[in-house]
Amino acid sequence: MTQNKTTNILSNPFKELSIQVSLSGLSFCILDGANNEIDLLDIISFEKKATPENLIQHLENWFSKENIKKLVFHKVSVIHENDLSTFVPKSLFNESNLSNYLKYNIKILENDFISFDELKEHDLYNVYVPFANVNNYIFDKFGDFEYKHFSTILIETLINTAKKSDEQTLYAYISKNHFEITVLDQKKLVLYNTYQYQQKEDFIYHLLFVIEQLNLNPEETPTYLLGDISEDSELYKIAYQYIRHVEISNSFYPKKIKETTEPTIKNSNTFILLNSL
C-alpha cells in the first residue's frame, strides 16, 4: 500500500523518515515535520518470512525507487519488530547484565548485539536484540539515526493513554501470526508477553490463560483489541463469547497527525509506525 500526497515532497526541507522492520515486512513513513502531515506511507508485506540477511535487499530495493532516492531527510528512525525483548524494572537494571535478562526467555548467540530502550517516565528498560545488519546499513546510508524496539512504542502508547484511576486493563495487539498481551494497572505495567497463534482457539487459550494467571475476572476486566482485528474477525468473535467487556479500539492513534490523513492509514501495519512519530 502506498499513499502519496499531490504536493511535491522534494520541496519540503523538514522530512522525517521512519522505518518499521520485521521478518514479515517493512513499513515506511515520510512525515512533513513542519505541518505534521504524512507525505508518503508505504507498506511492504513479504510472501514468506524473510531472514535478517534478506532485509537489506528489500531496503535497497525501496531506496532505489525514483521517487525516493533523491530525497534528503533531516531525521531517520528505525523500529525493530521481533520477539527478542524483555522489560526490566529500573531498580533491577544494570547495563553490564544485558544478556542475562534475555537468556532465560530467548535463544541468544554469543555474537548477538544487545541494546536497550529507556522508558524514562515509567521506570522501565526494554532489553532486546535489534537487527544489527539493518542498523549498520542505515548508518552507512544516513549517518546518525534513532532506533527503538516496537514494544517500547507499544507500551509507552498504552501507558500514556491510560488514566491513573484505571483498573486493571488488558490489551491485545494483534498481528498476522502473533499477538502481544499487555496488562496495566493504574498506568503501571503488570505483564507484557508475545504469543504465537495459528487458529482462533490458540488466541483465546492464551488470552484466557493470562486472565486466569493474573486472577482477573473475564466478566469485569476491560479488554481492548488493537492491530489486525475487526468485528468480522474470528478472533474478535471468540473473544466476545468469553469476555464481557471486550472491544476493538482505535483511540490509541496519535492526535498530532492531521485528521485528513487518519482514515486511510489506520490499520495493523501503521499503529506502531504512527505512534513513533
Answer positive or negative: Cα dihedral of 271, 253, 277, 39.
Answer: positive
Any bridge partners for residue 31, and if so which? Answer: 16, 38
The pLDDT value recorded for residue 258 is: 57
The answer to whether residues 200 and 234 touch, using CB atoms and an 8 Å cutoff, is yes
The DSSP symbol for 20 reads E
The answer to whether residues 100 and 139 touch, using CB atoms and an 8 Å cutoff, is no
The string of DSSP codes covering 189-251 is EEEEEEEE-SSHHHHHHHHHHHHHHTT--TTT--EEEEES--TTSHHHHHHHHH-SSEEE--T
Give CA angle at 59 (63, 23), nearest 5°. Answer: 155
Please state the pTM of the whole predicted model.
0.90
Phi and psi torsions of 274, nearest 5°: -70, -35
Residue type at 256 in one-letter notation: K
Regarding beta strands 124-128 and 169-174, do their DSSP bridges make them parallel or antiparallel, or are they unpaired? unpaired
- Identify the CA nearest to 135 among candidates 23, 26, 56: 56
The answer to whether residues 168 and 214 touch, using CB atoms and an 8 Å cutoff, is yes
Give the number of other Cβ atoms within 10 Å of residue 211's Cβ: 20
Q: What is the dihedral of CA 3, 134, 47, 273, to 10 degrees?
A: -40
The pLDDT value recorded for residue 108 is: 86
114 grid coordinates: 544487545
- Identify the CA nearest to 133 among candidates 239, 56, 42, 192: 56
Tens-binned pLDDT, residue by residue, of the chain (277 aa)? 444 443 454 555 689 999 999 999 999 999 988 888 888 999 999 988 899 999 999 999 999 999 998 899 999 999 999 999 999 999 999 999 999 999 888 888 888 999 999 999 999 999 999 999 999 999 999 999 999 999 999 999 999 988 877 789 999 999 888 999 999 998 999 999 999 999 999 999 999 999 999 999 999 999 999 988 889 999 999 999 999 999 998 767 665 565 444 444 555 568 899 888 8
Residue type at 235 in one-letter notation: L
